[in-house]
Amino acid sequence: MISIVLNGERREIAEGASVRDAALLLGAEPDARGVAVAVDGEVVPRSELETRTLSDGARVEVVVAIQGGS
């Protein structure tokens, strides 16, 4: 297990876990429109979500755009 910071909260995740795995922990579907993921301040291209692995101490931010209005 490694420790990451996921949207500001320290979480444990399996060693070798991908960026996609981290997004799924939050219930976000990383392949959906309006979802962006950054690791250590760098946006990860959608094509790399499954292949880019996380290292201990990584800071991961998952942002989901939602529509709204009146």
Domain boundaries, the chain: 2-64
Listed as ranges, residues in the chain with pLDDT below 70 are: 69-70
Which CATH class name applies to 2-64? Answer: alpha beta
19 three-state secondary structure: helix
pLDDT score for 67: 74
Q: Which helix (H) or strand (E) holds 23?
A: helix 19-25
pLDDT score for 69: 61
Interatomic CA distance for residues 4 and 26, integer angstroms:
13
Is there a contact between 54 and 22 (Cβ–Cβ < 8 Å)? Answer: yes
